[in-house]
Amino acid sequence: MAEKIKHKVDIIIRDLLEPNSYDLMDNATSIIAYLGLPESYKALQEMIKENLSGDIKELIEELEENIENSYSGLK
């Protein structure tokens, strides 16, 4: 049951990603890191290939450091 919910949240977050909104991306990357959402993370990896602002790229790069560690939010 928990995996189904995680997958649904992952799809919702992936579909809501908007690289032109810093606030949205800041919140989304936090959720992606805390929950370890693979589909959303893949979408971010594709976005980084696009022409993004430096702030957005920085958010994604920070996430890359934390995505493998499911306890990253507890530091």
pLDDT in tens, 18-43: 999 999 999 999 999 888 898 999 99
Q: How far, in Å, CA of 50 to CA of 74, rounded?
A: 31
Is the predicted pLDDT of residue 10 greater than 90, yes or no? yes
**CA distance to 1, 43, 44, 55, 63, per residue, from 67 (Å):** 22, 13, 12, 18, 6
DSSP one-letter code for 51: -
- Chain-centroid distance of CA 5 in Å reads 17
pLDDT at 75: 52
Q: Compute the distance between CA of residue 69 and CA of residue 75 in angstroms, rounded to an integer.
A: 11
